[in-house]
Amino acid sequence: MSDIKANGNLHGHDLTDMPVLNPGDWFGKTWLIEIGGSDSPLFLIVEANGMSDAIDELANNEKYGHLFIVEDEYLDDYPEDDRHYGPSGQVLDLDDLMIYGREGSDIPFPCRYHGDGLPAEGVLPTEFENVDAD
CB 90, CB 21: distance < 8 Å: no
pLDDT tens readout for residues 21-55 = 999 999 999 999 999 867 789 999 999 999 999 99
The span from the CA of 26 to the CA of 101, in Å, is 14
Q: Average model confidence (pLDDT) for the chain?
A: 90
Phi, psi (5° rounding) for residue 70? -75, 130
Question: What pLDDT does residue 1 have?
Answer: 45
pTM metric for this prediction: 0.88
pLDDT tens readout for residues 100-124 = 999 989 999 999 999 988 999 999 9
Taking residues 61-84, what's their average pLDDT? 91
